[in-house]
Amino acid sequence: MRDLMGMMGQIKELQAKMQQLQAELETTEVSGTAGGGVVTVTITAKGEMKKVAVDASLMKPEEKEILEDLIVAAHSDARAKAERLVQEKASALTGGLPLPPGLKLF
């Protein structure tokens, strides 16, 4: 019974830390690039796009489709980085807590 009470305490503590992490992820920004750095997309760790930066050399009407593809690629790069960041932070929080396999906290 003591172990159950201790685990319940750990779960409540984990919930509080997860709420703090969620707030932190809303303000943490990650940038992804494409085309050798000519396109940069900045998103929050929660996936909200904040900024797109495009090198002036791409501002040619005949390269419109390339630019659009690079923006998508840069966003994908930023999203992958954000997902890794979330996993790292979540792993750090739950490191000592025995959670069932496949349990998603986000």
Structural domains in the chain, CATH included, are 2-94 (3.30.1310.10)
Looking at residue 40, what is its pLDDT?
92
Mapped to the 3 state alphabet, what secondary structure does the chain carry? CHHHHHHHHHHHHHHHHHHHHHHHHHHCEEEEEEHHHCEEEEEECCCCEEEEEECHHHCCHHHHHHHHHHHHHHHHHHHHHHHHHHHHHHHHHHCCCCCCCCCCCC
Looking at residue 6, what is its pLDDT?
75
**pLDDT per residue rounded down to tens, the chain (106 residues):** 567 777 778 788 888 888 888 888 889 999 999 999 999 999 888 888 888 998 988 888 898 888 889 998 999 999 899 888 888 887 887 775 655 556 555 5
Looking at residue 79, what is its pLDDT?
87
